[in-house]
Amino acid sequence: MEELEEYEYRPKNVKEIFIEMKNTAELMVDLAYSSVLFNEEDIAEEVLELEEYLDLLNYHLTVHAVLAARNPRDAEKITSILQMAHAIDDVSNAAADLAKMVLEGVELHPVIREAIMESEEVIGRFIVAPHSVLVGKTLEELDLASNTGVWLIAVRRGKRWIFAPDGDFKILANDVLIGRGTQTSIDYLKELARGIMKVVGNE
């Protein structure tokens, strides 16, 4: 599977592992809510894969941390990293629990989807029209988070999902974007995706 290769563990230092754990847990929460909202099993499965990846990161963090302690003062500081990693792991487990509800086909109360759509940070789905200003641009060029207030979580291209797309990712016509933001910013990106608005941010 393409995704698994992407998550293969490459040796990192404690800081890099820690940053990756934080980013992964945040992505998992966003994806978990998306999987519930859109009843998307593929997204839910990705959450579970990320959970395994996070466990791997946590393991390597622990090994690094234990090796680094040289004296009691070191040990206290290093323990603080492990405590933090534990809290991040708890968040990722909660996200996995949400994703499992989707995979187990639990019949969800309609209130759940309404609540996800009406909370402060809303999740939106955007279909990119062929004449949208987004087409052919990379995420780095667009800088959607700063220019629209929408944080891109995942993209579906045909039957394929791309999770946490990076700056080099180029948007194509008919891509389906999933992102998080305020209702205003979601509405704005919808107009950009539909080709109604033609100017992104402060261009």
Q: Which spans of this chain sit near its own copies (rule: CB under 8 A)?
A: 14-15, 18-19, 22-23, 26, 29, 32, 36, 73, 76-81, 83-84, 86-88, 90-91, 93-95, 97-98, 101, 106-112, 114-116, 118-121, 143, 145-149, 151, 181-182, 184-185, 188, 199, 201-202
Q: 1 vs 199, which CB is nearer to its own copies?
A: 199
- Phi and psi at 178, nearest 5°, equal -125, 130
Classify 125 as helix, strand or coil. Answer: strand
Q: 120 vs 159, which CB is nearer to its own copies?
A: 120
Enumerate the H helices of the chain as residue ranges. Answer: 2-6, 14-38, 41-68, 72-103, 110-118, 139-142, 144-148, 183-194
User: From CA 193, how far away is CA 191, in angstroms rounded?
Assistant: 5
Question: Please, what is the minimum distance in Å from the beta carbon of residue 16 to its own copies?
Answer: 9
Q: 4 vs 117, which CB is nearer to its own copies?
A: 117
Q: Are 178 and 123 in contact (CB under 8 A)?
A: yes
Which tokens go with 107?
Answer: 């019949």
Q: Are 190 and 129 in contact (CB under 8 A)?
A: no
Question: Please, what is the minimum distance in Å from the beta carbon of residue 76 to its own copies?
Answer: 5
Question: Please, what is the minimum distance in Å from the beta carbon of residue 175 to its own copies?
Answer: 21
Question: Please, what is the minimum distance in Å from the beta carbon of residue 128 to its own copies?
Answer: 20
Q: 8 vs 202, which CB is nearer to its own copies?
A: 202
